[in-house]
Structure 1
Amino acid sequence: MNKEEAEAFGQRVKGLRQKHDYQSVRALAEATGLSHGYLAKLERGEIENPSQQTLERIASAFSESVQQILGESDINLGGGLPDMRTYFRRTLGVSLDEADELVGLVQKYQQGRKGGTHEENQ
């Protein structure tokens, strides 16, 4: 994202923070596990390329998708679910750490299924 897009994104994050009753950048920092200073710079538009993990953590704190916080369409033409972390946060109301743990368990399960079980290979 360029400087103009970074500034627009920062304003969007600030608006979402206020909409979701995070009274301060520090409160959002606590919810996301990101530093207060980093989030303050992000809101001011000084961060032009936040990582995917950063975007996911912010989106999850707002119980929204990365596409939503970026201002992109949340319509999934493929008919799939939102990213797992957001899905778990929205549907189960779990914390960010709990959602991360659930995502890890699902990924571990999926890896086991790809390898097949003894009964499937018979």
Structure 2
Amino acid sequence: QSGERVAAVDFQYVGGGCGMKDVAYFIGSCLNEQQCQQQETALLDYYFQVLKASLAAQHAQIDAEGVEQEWRSLFPVAWTDFHRFIKGWNPGHWKINSYSERLARKVISELSNNEAKQA
């Protein structure tokens, strides 16, 4: 083969919902551990900048600031869910790293604290 042609298959499903899972999958698939730590905030800032501009242009009735506030807080949860999947599927996978472990611990701690407050 010449190597000039490529093909790709996206195994994700198509459906409505929070976009943070896709953002977490994308960042986790493109960047290494150090890059994730260094670029997380800038990448999320850019994502929300573009999302808010798109919402303003195509769905002005949607509260873009509210979407950002809710979704941004869900990024660590989406990342942790993917981390949980990877650990169960392939415990030696390169995506299991200290960045992912730190986010998972943070999410679990916050969920535990919220649960304790409600009890």
For CA contacts below 8 A with separation 6 or more, give which structure has more relative contact order.
2
More helix by share: 2
If the length of structure 2 is used for normalisation, what is the TM-score? 0.25
If the length of structure 1 is used for normalisation, what is the TM-score? 0.25
